[in-house]
Chains A and B, each alone.
Chain A
């Protein structure tokens, strides 16, 4: 099993550009999450999904969109990149809910200049 796979690992965007962060898991997990981690801060939940076709906002959803057309994939879309979106992004998945171990992808370092 590859676990949770995130791409790309690094990306530099100009203000106003758009991009999609890819996330895929091969563990048949229902729940998938997108977090961002700013320096010296805890992880903040952007969006999550409890199954294919179902997504919901987390704490910091503004400026992002997600979709979940399959169990395996949960891409995160940035439409108009802003410097405030400079962060490290982690995708994660688990079997179900807050009591289950989270499996994280290796992260994407995004800089918006």
Chain B
């Protein structure tokens, strides 16, 4: 099983839609979890950390389910500018592990 797995997508949604991505991980000892956003041919940028109790930042909500070993990202009221690839990142053994990303395309 891969350390971290994401559905590559693309997820095609209209503006204003709500969309959610999941990311599953295999290392139950992982302590820290993040969502990074990567625009085409650009560097990844931190979108938000993921806390055990779940956390929200504007239209974005992140949740962690340790029992089932997955994290999720929910985007409400999608904007055209949300089109990007969303990378799931978590701590492995003394290192960060990056998922391959889920591509989101928001259309008018």
Chain A interface (Cβ < 8 Å from any Cβ of B): 35, 40-45, 58-59, 88, 90, 98-99, 101-102, 104-107, 109
Contact = CB atoms under 8 A, between A and B. Distances in A.
B43 A99 contact: no
Interface residues of B, number: 22
Contacts of A35: 98
Contacts of B94: 98
Please classify the interface of chain B as helix (H, G, I), strand (E, B), loop, or mixed, using the class held by over half of its residues: loop
Contacts of A44: 98
10 cross-chain pairs, A with B, having the tightest CB-CB distances, nearest first: A104-B43, A42-B98, A43-B98, A98-B91, A42-B100, A99-B32, A101-B46, A98-B96, A107-B43, A106-B43
Nearest to B49: A101
B96 to A, nearest CB: 5
B95 A45 contact: yes
Interface string B80-101: 0000000100010011111111
A42 B96 contact: no
Contacts of A41: 100
Given A42-B100, A107-B41, A109-B41, 5 more contacts: A42-B97, A90-B44, A99-B31, A101-B46, A102-B46
B66 interface: no
